[in-house]
Each structure stands twice: as C-alpha cells, then as structure tokens.
Structure 1
Amino acid sequence: MKVSNKKIQEVWDEHAGEYNTVHNVSADAEREEWKNILKRYIGENIAQRVLDIGTGTGFLAFAAEEIGYRCTGVDLAPKMINIAKDFAKKNGFETELQTADWSNLPFQDDSYEAVINRCIVWTLFTPQKTLSEWKRVLKPQGKLLCFCPASSLEGKIQPDHYEKEIEEQLPLKNASPEQLCKTLTDCGYSEVEILELKELGKDDIFGGWYLLKGVKQ
C-alpha cells in the first residue's frame, strides 16, 4: 500500500484545530527553555537561516525567530500552515510559512545553516530519502536538530495517528536511539549523537525530550 501525501495531509488537517491545545501547552510553558536549547545548538550568530520542517502551527519556528534567526517553516498540511500564518499575523512574526513535501523541498542546495524539527522523525515513511533531502538544503557544516519525544524512544508506543496499514509503514516509529543514530550516519551526517534534554519537563503525552543531531560535512 503506497501512502499518498494527500492522505497524510488529510490526517494532519484533521488534527490542526486542536493541535495547540493537545501538543503545545507544555511547550508554551517552557518556551524560554526551548529557546535556550535552540540557541545552544544552532549557535550565537542570529543571522543564520533556519528551516523548521513539519512546523505544524509554528511553535518551534516562532521560538527560533524570537531568538533572532531568519526562519522558514514548512508543513504538509495546509490547515496547519493557515493556523500558523494567522498566529504570525496577529503576533508580528515574519517567519516564511508554506506547504511543502518534506522529501522534495522547494529550496536550493546549501540554503540553510540549520534544519530543525519536532515530533517528525517517527513519521517518516522513507527516512533515507527524506533525511538526505534535508541534508541537501543544509549548507556545509549545517546542523540538523531533531527533537524526539521520549515516548517514542523508551519502548512506549506512539499514539496511532494513522490507519493500521499506514502505521505499519513507519520504519522509525518507536525506533531506538541506536537505530536513529545509525539512520543519520547512513545518510552521510557526521557528529551524530542523541542527547536527553533534562531541562525540559516530562508530561503525559511526550514523556520528556531527546535531541537527535548531526552535521553536514
């Protein structure tokens, strides 16, 4: 069964209206901690261009913009992007927001100093292709930062967002830290490691956070 982007868009469009209240309540409460983490791992130079993949309603992209980075956020789901755009307009954010296929990004090679994402890695149907595409748009020495919920790394089952036939096609759902690191290494990233972010609290949905990171040589 081949999964179409249209099917995935429909699923996340359906989640869009409740996404902030379900997924971002604890993140908003820890906004400063998230910003400190982004600054620590992206770097002090705020002139850097940052791409947030699977931006959803924009939490991570807007946090990065608040630091001063030049941000772009992309998502498969149009309704997610519309909510993010409305929030940006009401709150004065200038992040560029658009729908895009994560595995076929509409950007030139070597465009960004950092690619970031939150709760996205487990959803990849073609990790090798998609992670290689993210590497393509990174500049040399650019950084990939993947924020992964602890619930997906500690033997706990992720909530089923898709039909069973679709869920079974997710190679990285509940992948171990070792599997995730190997996947990045196999895609040509260097300095690959995964770190527990103890400064972020644990909640019933995510159970805490890990950072999977790598560098484009």
Structure 2
Amino acid sequence: MGDVNGALDAVRRNWDRRARDYNRFYRRFSADRRDAWRTACEKIVPALRPGGAGPLDVLDVGTGTGFLSTLLAELGHRVTAVDPSATMLGYAREEAERRGVDVSFRECGAHDVEDLASTFDLVTARYVLWTLPAPVRATAAWSRVLRPGGAVLIADSTWHTWRGDGRRLLASLRPGGDHGFAWRLLRDYVRIGRATPNWKGLTPQRAQAILAAGGFRRGERFDDLLPEFARPVGEGFFITGARVR
C-alpha cells in the first residue's frame, strides 16, 4: 500500500484539521440520540463479556472528541481513550470535564496501542476502522492488548457511495446547506483516500474479515439495538463485536 507511516501522518493531519467541525457536530448531538447509544452499550458490553462482572478496563481507540469514551465512563467503566490527533484530544478532555467523568487520554495511534504497556477487557472503535491505512496491523495490536476473554466492539458504515454522496451534495447546495461539502469531500479524498484501503467505508463482512485476520473470533451483530434515529446518515451502518482468540 506504499508508505504506511506517511499515510498515518496524512490521516492524523486530516483529523487535526477537521477537529473543530467534528466537535461542533457532537456538541449539537441531541440528548436522545446520545441516550440511545448509552442504552445500546448497556446491553452490548455484558453480551460481549459474559461473566465479566463489575467495571471493565476499556480502551477507546480513535476517541475523537470523546463521544464514546465519556459515555462508557458514565456507565462506570475505567476508560483509556487514545487518538493520534492532539487537537481532537483537546476537545475530548473538555468533553470529559463538562460531563464530570474521569477518562485517561493519551496521544496514540490505533496501530500503536501496544506502546501503552497496559492490558484491557474491551477495545472500542466507533467510526475508526474505515480510516486506518493498515487495518489488520491495527486489529492485531488490539488483540494483543486484550486480556483472556477480552473483546472488541466496532461501529462503522459504508460512508461514501455515489448515491449517498450525491444526496449530501444536493443537500449542501440548498439554501442553508453546507456549501463547503463538495470541496471537503474532494479535499479529503486527495489527502487520505489513496492512503486508506477502506476510504469509502466498510461492509460488515469486510470488517469481520479484518477482525479475523487480526486475531478475533467470528463476531455477532448488535446494530438492531440502536434505533434508526440515532444512526448516522449513510448506507450499511453496523455494530459488531468479537472476542479475542
């Protein structure tokens, strides 16, 4: 795939640039949608860790502005949240402080989690796997930081299709629309599209194959636990979890 380190740096720079808009989006994220994610996690985590009583040690990979890491901390888990973007982490720390939760934030890429020198019960990656230049290398690293019986939880989607991007482009041209959408779509493709093998997004089958190659068992689907109104715009949204081999 070329220079992986160069690709990783391109992805990091891209999310540094997008951090402010991303944070603004989640600050406007409605309470009922966040509550829906919380309810789903309350059901999914015990299903992935049967017999794992009490709070878990969770590693939230690619935490972004802290949506999932703060939510899991609210549920009582001990959360370490990592992201390669220092700008994203700045917003995530603000979010944790605003919500009054304790999360350990570390600047670290998804491929480098073994550098943390810690082990965990659960790894979470919400809208992260599709962005990775070397996804199998990353999931293999995740499997190695999990304790016996540990599991991974993935949420992702097929983000870019002709039909989906066409709808968003048309919406951006309407009065009050996001007129910069078309430019950002082209810009992001030039910056990271050619560096990431799954830039258009992931199907559940592709995600399962990546997890299997990284050392995980066949997974199970949980997307039915998140209601439609709380899902992202796009086609093929899924939530899947798998236990480490």
State how far apart, in whole Å, the 1-side matches of 2:211 and 2:28 are: 30
Alignment-derived partner of residue 162 in structure 1: 188
- Cα-to-partner distance string for 1:17-69 (whole Å, 9 max, x where unaligned): 12133356446431222112212222273421111111011010000011101
Query: For 2:71, which of 58, 63, 68 is the aligned residue?
Result: 63
- Residue 6 (str. 1) matches residue 9 (str. 2): yes
Q: In structure 2, the residue corresponding to 1:74 is in which secondary structure?
A: strand
Counterpart residue identity of residue 146, structure 1: I
Query: For 1:210, which of 215, 238, 242 is the aligned residue?
Result: 238
State how far apart, in whole Å, the 1-side matches of 2:204 and 2:30 are: 22
Q: Which runs of 5+ in 1 are unaligned?
A: none
Q: 1:11-50 maps to which residues of 2 (within 5 A)?
A: 11-22=14-25, 25-26=28-29, 28-43=31-46, 45-50=53-58
Change (3 A) 1:204 1:115: closer
Q: In structure 2, the residue corresponding to 1:47 is in which secondary structure?
A: coil
Query: For 2:219, which of 192, 197, 200 is the aligned residue?
Result: 192
- Residue 176 (str. 1) matches residue 185 (str. 2): no
Deviates more, 1:54-63 or 1:91-100: 91-100
Deviates more, 1:204-213 or 1:30-39: 204-213
State how far apart, in whole Å, the 2-side matches of 1:84 and 1:202 are: 21
Task: Assess if the C-alpha contact under 8 Å between 1:46 and 1:67 holds in 2.
Answer: no
Q: Which runs of 5+ in 2 are unaligned?
A: 47-51, 169-184
Query: For 1:134, which of 119, 142, 156 is the aligned residue?
Result: 142
State how far apart, in whole Å, the 2-side matches of 1:154 and 1:193 are: 29
- Cα-to-partner distance string for 1:148-204 (whole Å, 9 max, x where unaligned): 135469985695663436312322233332222122112221132344335242667
State how far apart, in whole Å, the 2-side matches of 1:185 and 1:204 are: 26
State how far apart, in whole Å, the 1-side matches of 2:43 and 2:162 are: 25
Counterpart residue identity of residue 218, structure 2: E
Q: Which has the higher contact order (CA 8 A, sep 6+)?
A: 2
Aligned length: 216
Rg (Cα) greater in structure: 2
Alignment-derived partner of residue 154 in structure 2: 146
Change (3 A) 1:119 1:65: same
State how far apart, in whole Å, the 2-side matches of 1:40 and 1:154 are: 34
Query: For 1:108, which of 92, 107, 117 is the aligned residue?
Result: 117
Counterpart residue identity of residue 107, structure 1: L
- Cα-to-partner distance string for 1:78-110 (whole Å, 9 max, x where unaligned): 01101111222343221001210211112236x
Change (3 A) 1:140 1:116: same
1:132 to partner: Cα distance: 0.3
After TM superposition, where is structure 1 displaced by more than 4 Å over at least 4 residues in a row? 152-161
Change (3 A) 1:4 1:183: closer
Identity of aligned residues (%): 22
Task: Assess if the C-alpha contact under 8 Å between 1:181 and 1:194 holds in 2.
Answer: no
Task: Assess if the C-alpha contact under 8 Å between 2:89 and 2:107 holds in 1.
Answer: yes
State how far apart, in whole Å, the 2-side matches of 1:162 and 1:48 are: 36
TM-score of the aligned structures, taking structure 1 as reference length: 0.85
Task: Assess if the C-alpha contact under 8 Å between 1:181 and 1:193 holds in 2.
Answer: no
Counterpart residue identity of residue 60, structure 1: L
Higher helix share: 2
1:146 to partner: Cα distance: 0.6
Task: Assess if the C-alpha contact under 8 Å between 1:153 and 1:176 holds in 2.
Answer: no
